[in-house]
Amino acid sequence: MPNPPAQPPHARSLAAVNEEIRGLLEAGGLVSSEGRRRYEELLVEWAAAVRGDVAEAA
């Protein structure tokens, strides 16, 4: 019997993503390539959270 498809991970709230972005910026974490990569990932997550907030409001 095939396994059911994996559930997508639960999206974090916009506030939680913002908090992590602020922490990364305040700590000067964008200096390293890993920090810049994480920042880019967070921006994608942030945009998805914004779209989710807009969809719920509509």
> What is the per-residue pLDDT across 8-58, written as a single tens digit (0 to 9) for each?
456 788 999 999 999 999 999 889 999 999 999 999 999 998 888 655 555
Q: What share of the chain is helix, strand, coil (3-state, %, to 5)?
A: 70, 0, 30
Pairwise CA distance, residues 56 & 28, whole Å = 34
Whether pLDDT at 4 is above 90: no
